[in-house]
């Protein structure tokens, strides 16, 4: 019997356009989890290219992979740099 080889699921493979990315971030922000937000930004960065994000933020690729892994919440400075570099802005409205 042959074994089926599978790869771990990575949402970055399914973020095909800007609208996908925006909707994904909207859903993640609703959960109010900073580590999950960092992971979502990391997925978007992988979908677009981590090297370009590193260049745009002035942060190393290694630092970005670590900060945006979703295992912890990065500093607010890093989050804002990444959000800005990815071309997004945060919007605040009443709950």
72 phi and psi angles, rounded to 5 deg: -155, 170
**Res 76: pLDDT:** 92
The pLDDT tens digits for 1-16 are: 788 999 899 999 999 9
What is the pTM assigned to this prediction? 0.87
**Res 2: pLDDT:** 81
What parts of the chain have a pLDDT lower than 70? Answer: none
Q: Which domains, and CATH codes, for the chain? A: 22-85 (1.10.260)
User: In whole angstroms, what is the distance from residue 14 CA to residue 30 CA?
Assistant: 20
Residue in the structure block whose two tokens are 């992971």: 39
């Amino acid at each position: 019997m042959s074994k089926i080889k599978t790869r771990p699921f990575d949402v970055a493979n399914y973020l095909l356009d800007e609208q996908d990315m925006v909707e994904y971030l909207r859903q993640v922000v609703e959960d109010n989890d900073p580590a999950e937000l960092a992971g979502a930004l990391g997925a978007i960065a992988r979908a677009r290219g981590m090297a370009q994000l590193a260049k745009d933020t002035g942060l190393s690729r290694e630092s970005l992979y670590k900060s945006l892994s979703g295992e912890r919440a990065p500093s607010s400075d890093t989050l804002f740099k990444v959000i800005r570099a990815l071309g997004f802005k945060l919007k605040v409205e009443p709950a």
